[in-house]
Amino acid sequence: MKVFSILGLASVGLVVAQIPCDEEYGKHCPDKSSWDVGECIREKVGMDNLSDSCKSYLTAMSVCKDDIAANCANLEFTGEVIVCMLNWTSPSKVSSGCMEALSVYKEKPQGSGGGEEKSEEDERRAKARRRRRNRAAGMAREQKDREKKKDDKKARRRRKIEKEL
């Protein structure tokens, strides 16, 4: 699954280390994909509890929904959607509101370099580890819930059979 893939896009003129909502996605909505990711994060976490970067990402995805559907289908809520909208799609095909919402993802001038890059890389890796851990925990909870439902169904059948006898 390509949801929230990690990006290293200096070669295409975009500086995005990771999708801002990866942690929320991994913790609360690991089983969701496509547009359901944004809806799930809004529903389970709430906009007031999100980081500013995640809020702006969700806002950009909402503002750009029609543009994404027209120009970057099947890339919604993936790391490639911003690259697609800013680099692979002609600006004439993107609405002005969408371009404004995506402007925060355009390349910023390079800073002092060296030390900053290492700490950003460490932070990116830590976020990726948390996302994987949260996703694994979410999948384990899902499996446990499925097993419980299965056990409940077996118990109901047993009681029904005992009742009939």
- Look at the chain and count its residues: 165
- Write the pLDDT tens digit of every residue in 142-156: 888 888 888 888 888
Whether 120 contacts 17, CB under 8 Å: yes
| Residue 10 pLDDT grade (very low, low, confident, very high; cuts 50, 70, 90) | very low
- The predicted model scores a pTM of 0.54
**pLDDT digits over 41-98, tens only?**
989 888 888 888 888 889 999 999 999 999 988 888 887 888 888 888 899 999 999 9
Q: How much is the pLDDT for 63?
A: 94
The confidence score (pLDDT) of residue 18 equals: 61
47 to 21, 22, 94, 136, 150: CA distances (angstroms): 11, 15, 26, 24, 35
Per the DSSP assignment, residues forming a β-bridge with 106 are 14
Q: Which amino acid is at 80?
A: E
Q: Is the pLDDT of residue 17 over 60?
A: no
Asked if pLDDT for residue 2 goes beyond 60, the answer is no
In angstroms, the CA 120 to CA 10 distance is 14
Q: How far apart are CA 95 and CA 104, in angstroms?
A: 16
d(CA 118, CA 43): 34
Phi, psi of 33 (to 5 degrees): -150, 170
Confidence of residue 118 (pLDDT cuts 50, 70, 90): low
Q: Is the pLDDT of residue 6 over 50?
A: no
CA distances from 157 to 38, 144, 145 (A): 39, 20, 18
